[in-house]
Amino acid sequence: MNRPFNMPDEFVDAFVKAGASLWRSLASASTAVDRTEAGSVMESTGRLVELQADYLRHLYALTEHALKTSAGTQAEAAVEPARGDRRFNGAEWRDNSLYSLLKQCYLLNARYCVDFVEALDLDEREKHRLRFFTRQLVEAMSPTNFVATNPDAIKIATETEGQSLKAGLDNLIADLSKGNLTITDEHAFEVGKDVATSRGAVVFENDLFQLIQYEPATEQVAARPLLIVPPCINKFYILDLQPANSFVRFAVEHGLTVFMVSWRNPDASCGHLGWDDYVAHGAMRAIEVARSISGADKINVVGWCVGGTILSSALALLRTRGDESVASVTLLTTMLDFREPGDLGVFVDEESVLLREQTIGRGGIYRGAELGFVFQTLRSKELIWPNVVNHYLKGKPPERFDLLFWNADVTNLPGPMYCWYIRNMYLENNLREANRLTMCDTPVDLGRVDLPAYVLATMEDHIVPWRSAYRTTGLLSGDIRFVLGASGHIAGVINPASKNKRSYWVSANREEDPAAWLAGAEEKPGSWWNDWIAWLAPWTEDKLAARTQLGSNLYPPGEAAPGRYVKEKAS
């Protein structure tokens, strides 16, 4: 069923289930009369009573504040936005008593809603779902999201004699017609010209991916090359946006021969592809080709997000088969143990997975636009509502931002692959159990991956919670360096060494509890890129003269990087 802005069935179903959980909890609380038989419910009811009393106290303080300010008396605000909340930065929200009262009423009610959910007696999975959708509703109801209660939008409308409102309405109609929320200027960049500009060539391709080899940037290069396996749910050029923040450029400038997997954007002809195809004909084939072209005894590999999950599966199979063609592995914000999947777990249960299996599990495409909507809801305060305000309320054109351009360049997934991944990873968490899964006719045991491993997580990751990424340290059997970077899933990874921003945490201790590891970790300033390149050095072997020709006789260079696969748009 088509819905505005590509809202997937999983989102609607999860929202309905969250409402049902709330209703059941309230019904239980209202009928609880016996503390012995319903002790936990009565305890929850007591918390709700305390919460209500606290709310009334703050409401009284807010009323007192409003009376003082209306009388011209300076008074301290009863409720203030959280640190980093920029929605109310405008002077009107502070200096105008009516807007100040409106802001504080919203913030008080928002806090009450959040605390109310926490006070309910619910299963943690149900509470997580209700917590997520409560946040969605709270953020949606901000007075900044409505023309009548947004002083900045009213000011612009007055100054432009209503033209901003007309432009905003035109923007809304255009987005509704195409079915997507515009989050950036989608015509501001051209792949291969403005982004993904590192020089190289496609040296191999099949129906699943193109393999790019990049030109060297140094006279000598490490004997062992680097192969990068990015996520197949996004385009690879997040790792090669522009020269100043290109991970590819950083690697080649440090003397590495870099190969990049560029996944195909699947169309209907790819609707039969499964997880095994991505492992065998994707990651494993790329390892084989990169090693052949380089002539090295071994190669070093990097996987990001689901690309890391695919790569780890491939490595487990290779090690089981006695293949020693990989020297080290780097996993960037990758989840192998899915017991705490974060907010994405809100959309996954047996019913929703079964529905997808029945519709696209044996053939078909999971549209990237639907997946893109889900990812936007994970960061709705940053990705949805600021664009609604600027684009619709203020009539402004979308901003020009390379990261958001990449974010909007969505990719499809083959239905069988998607369904297998969601069931076996997010729903049943099978990968962490040795030999529970069979891929490519081979039992999978991550414990056989005894390679040196660099495992990066990021503190504010909303897709791969860092505590989940940390559990990789208990699954792989090689010497592991775990590093926790600042920021989130994207900005925490794309943290150029040249800018030396943010920080990261390291510790040689290996604790079972992630919190215990963090408590003993040392914070270091700057980018983790420098730490990684130093860690990788022992596994790169001696330096060789850089080749003047890309590819090899067996795998001759073809079209110039970034190739045509990355330019294909999801239909």
The residues near 124 (Cβ < 8 Å, ≥ 6 apart) are none
User: Would you say 69 and 77 are in contact if contact means Cβ atoms under 8 Å apart?
Assistant: no
The CA-atom distances, in angstroms, between 254 and each of 306, 331, 365 are 26, 19, 39
The catalytic residue positions are 305
CA distance 212 to 259: 5
Q: Is the peptide bond before 562 cis (omega within 30 degrees of 0)?
A: yes
The CA-atom distances, in angstroms, between 525 and each of 56, 480, 500 are 44, 21, 8
User: Would you say 263 and 236 are in contact if contact means Cβ atoms under 8 Å apart?
Assistant: yes
pLDDT in tens, the chain (571 residues): 455 566 677 766 766 766 666 656 555 555 544 443 444 555 667 777 888 888 888 888 888 777 777 666 666 667 888 888 999 999 999 888 889 889 999 999 999 999 999 988 888 888 999 999 999 999 999 999 999 999 999 999 999 999 999 999 999 999 998 888 898 998 899 999 999 999 999 999 999 999 999 999 999 999 999 999 999 999 999 999 999 999 999 999 999 999 999 999 999 999 999 999 999 999 999 999 999 999 999 999 999 999 999 999 999 999 999 999 999 999 999 999 999 999 999 999 999 999 999 999 999 999 998 988 899 998 899 889 999 999 999 999 998 889 999 999 999 999 999 999 999 999 999 999 999 999 999 999 999 999 999 999 999 999 999 999 999 999 999 999 999 999 999 999 999 988 888 999 999 998 999 999 999 999 999 999 999 999 999 999 999 999 989 999 999 999 999 999 999 998 7
Bridge partners (DSSP) listed for residue 199: none
Structural tokens at position 510: 């290996």
CA distance 285 to 289: 6
Structural tokens at position 361: 């599990």
DSSP letter assigned to residue 452: -
In order of their start, the domains of the chain are: 9-145 (no CATH), 200-342+429-567 (3.40.50.1820)
CA nearest neighbour of 475 among 338, 344, 304, 340: 338
Structural tokens at position 426: 């997010």
The residues near 113 (Cβ < 8 Å, ≥ 6 apart) are 134, 137, 138
User: Would you say 543 and 219 are in contact if contact means Cβ atoms under 8 Å apart?
Assistant: no
Q: Could you give the angle at which helices 9-31 and 350-359 cross, rounded to 10 degrees?
A: 160
Residue 129: exposed, middle, or buried by beta-carbon count in 10 A (0-12, 13-18, 19+)? buried
Please provide the size of the chain in residues: 571
Where do we find the tokens 């809801």?
A: 377
CA nearest neighbour of 226 among 258, 199, 198: 258
CA nearest neighbour of 336 among 434, 248, 407, 418: 434
